[in-house]
Amino acid sequence: MATHTPQLLAEVAALPNLPGVYRYFDAAGVLLYVGKAISLKKRVASYFRTYQSGTRVSHMVSRIASMQTTVVRSEAEALLLENNLIKTLSPKYNILFRDDKSYPYLKMSGLAAGPADRQRTVPGAPAAAAFPRVSYYRGTVEKRHRYFGPYPSAWAVKETILLMQKLFRLRTCEDTVFGNRTRPCLLYQIKRCSAPCVGHIDAAAYAQDVTDAERFLRGDAGQVLQALESRMAVHSGRLEFEQAALLRDQISALSSVLHQQSVDNVADRDVDVLAVRVQGGRACVNLAMVRGGRHLGDRPYFPVQVEDAVGMYRIGDDPAAASTSVEAQVLEAFVAQHYIDVPVPPFLVTGEQLPALLIEALSQQSGVKVSAVHQPREQRRIWLEMAQTNADLQLARILAQEGSQQARTAALVQALNLDVDDLDDLRMECFDISHTAGEATQASCVVFQHHAMQSAQYRRYSIEGITPGDDYAAMRQVLTRRYAKLAQAVREAADSTFAKTDVARLPDLVLVDGGKGQVGVAREVFAGLGLDLSLIVGFEKGEGRRVGLEELVFADGREKIYLGKDSAALMLIAQVRDEAHRFAITGMRAKRARLRVGGGQLEEIDGIGPKRRARLLQRFGGVRGVGLASIEDLATVEGISREMAEHIYRALH
C-alpha cells in the first residue's frame, strides 16, 4: 500500500460530494493523471485504497504527491473539462490522441450567402467578388466565406474541386489572376470553367451555378438534377438551344457522377464512422467521413500510452462500467478529445457503444443534436465494416513499421556501441544547414526518440551575423545556441541523473550532416561547453555522393567506419539525415520567399498594395532593406507620402 502525506489524505477527506475534475501530480510537479467524477469525494478516495501490488494503478498511486480539483455544475461539464485538460497537458496515465495536422476544407469565397445577395454590386469591391472561387483551404474559418468539410485528406478536397469544375464550371483562379485576364484560360477550353473573368457568363447565371454546387455538396444532388432538367425544358421551349445544350451536358455529367456514387446515395448526409482495433499494445481508431451523402475517405489515429492508461479507467465506478473493453475505452477517449477542435456531425456510427453522457456532452458543446449507433444496418453497416477493415490494415502496417524501426534502433546502438539502457528512450538529434548561395541561411534540428521522428520537438534557427555561405560558421552558431544553456543546466545539476530528465536531457547521439570539417566545428563547440565528444557523429557522403556509400566520422578520434549499404543502422541514420535536410530546406525556401517577395510584413500594412509594395522592394532590395530605411528614405519612393512613410516605419519597427 502506498504511503502518502497526512496533508494529502486530509485534502482527500475534505473533498465535496460534487461533480468535478481532479489532477494528480508527482513530487516533481509532473502531471500524472486527469479524471472526472460525479462525486469527487468518492472517486478520489477510491484511488487510495489497497490495490494489488505491481499493477499500473498502484504504481501511479504510489507516485501521487499532490492533487488539484475543480468543481463543475454537471458530469457532462466535467467530461468536457477533463478532455480539454488531457489534450492540452498530456498526462502520463491518460490515453492521448495527438494530431498535429488540421483538417482541410473546400472553401467557396464570397461576400454574401445567398443567390440574391451575390447579384448585388458591392461598392469598392473587385469584380472577382461577384464570382465566388472554389479552392482548397486549411486554417481558421471566416464568416464571410463558405466552407464545406472537414475532409479526411487533401486528396479528397482536390478530387471534390475537380468535380466542381466538371459539373458546375466554377473558377479556381486567384483574384489577382481573375482581375488581369484578357482572354479565357485553358480551363475554359477544356470546359472546366465558364470564364467569368472575361464576361462569358454573367453574375446571375454564375450565382445559379454556385447555388447548385452548394446544394450538391450538401447532398441534394437529386434536387439539383431535377432543377437542371426543368431549366433545360424552359430554354428548349424558348428555342434557346445553345443554353439548353449546355444544361444537357451538365445533366449528363451529373447523372454519370450519381451513377458512379449510387452506393452512397442514402438518407444520411453527414456521418462519421468510427472503428477501433487493439493489438500488440497498440490501438488504431479509423475515422471514415461521409459528407453530403458521399464517402470521402478514411483517416487513421494511433493513441499513445494505451497500456498505462487502461488500468486507470473509471476507478470507483460500478463494476459494469469498470469492466468496459479496451476498445471501448480507446474509442471513448478519441471521441471526447477529437471533437474538441473538430465540428461534430449530427450522426456517429461506431464499432463500440458510447456512453450516453458523452453523446449528451457533445451535443451540449456543439449546439447540434448528436446521435450514435453501434450496431448499424444496411448502408451504415457497410460503412462500418469498411472502416473496421481499414483499421485492421492500418494497425498491421504501424506494427510492422515499428518492428522494423526498433530493429534499426537496435542495430544503430550495436554498431556504435552506445551506452543506452532502454532502446525506447534513445534520443538522437540531427543538424543540417540550408541556404541559396548564402541567402536566407537556415539551420534545422530534428529529433528521433521512441523509435520515431518527434516533429513537435523540431526546431529551426535563422543564422545571422556570418559570412554568407560559411556553413562551418552556421554550424558553430546553431550548436552553440542549441546546447549552451543545456550544458549549463547539466553542470549545475546536483543529482547526476538530472541530465536524463525532460528538463535537461542531452541526446545520446548528435548527428551532423557533413564530414571532417563539420565534425571539427562540432568538436570545438562541445569542447568549449564541456560536453562529451563521443556524442558527435558526422555523416560523410561516399564516393561520387552515391547513396549507401556514406561513412561515419567521429569527433573523439575514432577511425571513420563504413556500415554497408544494407545496414539497418545506416538506413536509420539516413532517414534522420534526410528529415533534417527536408526540414532545413523548407524553412530556407520560406525565408527566402519572404525576403525576396516581401512575404507577410509589407502585405500586412494597411494602405500598401501590390504597386507600392513592388516599388519599395525594388528600391531597397527586399523587406530587410525596407526595414533598415529611414522615414526620409521611404518618402522618396513614388507613391509614398511622408505620412505613409511614417506609417510603414512604425509597422516595421
How does the average pLDDT of the chain come out, rounded? 80
**Amino acid 403: pLDDT:** 79
Write the pLDDT tens digit of every residue in 357-392: 888 888 888 888 899 998 888 888 888 998 999 898
**Residue 649 scores a pLDDT above 80:** yes
Cα–Cα distance between 394 and 62 in angstroms, integer?
A: 36
For the chain, the domains span 6-89, 105-264, 271-395, 423-594, 598-652
Cβ partners under 8 Å of residue 466, min gap 6: 441, 473, 474, 477
269 DSSP 8-state letter: -
Q: What is the pTM of this model?
A: 0.61
Closest of 405, 401, 458 to residue 573, by C-alpha: 405
Which residue would you say has higher pLDDT here, 53 or 142? 142
Write the pLDDT tens digit of every residue in 499-558: 444 445 789 999 998 888 899 999 999 999 888 888 899 988 876 666 667 888 899 888
Contact assessment for residue 276 and residue 60, using Cβ atoms and an 8 Å cutoff: no
Q: Decide if 271-395 and 423-594 have a common fold.
A: yes
Mean pLDDT across 611-619: 80
**Residue 51 scores a pLDDT above 70:** no
Beta bridge partners of 70: 21
Q: Which residue has 522494423 as its cell numbers?
A: 404
Task: Specify the range with the lowest mean pLDDT, choosing from 109-118, 228-237, 452-461, 484-493.
Answer: 109-118
Beta bridge partners of 297: 289
Write the pLDDT tens digit of every residue in 234-290: 777 777 777 777 767 667 766 655 544 444 445 667 889 999 998 877 889 999 888
Between the two ends of the chain, the Cα-to-Cα distance in Å is 61
Tell me the fold of 6-89.
GIY-YIG endonuclease (3.40.1440)
Contact assessment for residue 38 and residue 17, using Cβ atoms and an 8 Å cutoff: no
Tell me the fold of 271-395.
Nucleotidyltransferase; domain 5 (3.30.420)
Cα–Cα distance between 509 and 448 in angstroms, integer?
A: 10
Mean pLDDT across 568-588: 88
CATH code, residues 423-594: 3.30.420.340
List strand residue ranges (DSSP E) for 185-339, in order. 271-279, 282-291, 294-301
- Helix or strand (DSSP H, E) at 462: strand 459-462
Residue type, 569: A
Q: What is each CA distance from 579 to 448, 481, 574, in whole angstroms?
A: 10, 21, 8
Q: 526 phi and psi, to 5 degrees?
A: -65, -35
**Amino acid 542: pLDDT:** 72
Structure-block grid coordinates of residue 459: 526546431
How large a percentage of the chain has pLDDT more than 70?
A: 83
Cβ partners under 8 Å of residue 409, min gap 6: 423, 426, 451, 572
Cα–Cα distance between 344 and 351 in angstroms, integer?
A: 17
**Amino acid 260: pLDDT:** 45
List strand residue ranges (DSSP E) for 72-206, in order. 105-108, 134-137, 146-148
543 DSSP 8-state letter: G
> Can you identify the CATH homologous superfamily of domain 598-652?
5' to 3' exonuclease, C-terminal subdomain (1.10.150.20)
**Residue 162 scores a pLDDT above 80:** yes
Dihedral of the CA atoms 553, 559, 564, 569 (nearest 10)? -60
Write the pLDDT tens digit of every residue in 301-342: 888 877 766 656 544 444 444 457 888 888 988 888 888 778
